[in-house]
Amino acid sequence: MLPIMNILVALWISLYPELYTYLRLATIKGVTLYEIVTYG
């Protein structure tokens, strides 16, 4: 992953920690990003 991407991800996590947590949990459960966007 490029350094700029790491910075953007870190910024996104700092702005939306609850969304990041939900994304982590959903990913662990095997839910795809597409499903999150479609049904979330």
DSSP letters, 1-40, are --HHHHHHHHHHHHH-HHHHHHHHHHHHTT--HHHHHHH-
The pLDDT of residue 24 is: 79
Are the CB atoms for 36 and 23 separated by under 8 Å? yes
The pLDDT of residue 33 is: 66
If pLDDT is split at 50, 70 and 90, which confidence band does 5 have?
Answer: confident
Q: 14-36 pLDDT, tens per residue?
A: 888 887 788 777 777 776 666 76
Whose tokens are 């479609």? That residue is 38
Question: Up-side HSE of residue 5: CA atoms within 13 Å toward CB?
Answer: 2
Q: Whole-angstrom Cα distance, residue 13 to residue 27?
A: 15
pTM of the model: 0.37
Domain ranges of the chain: 13-39
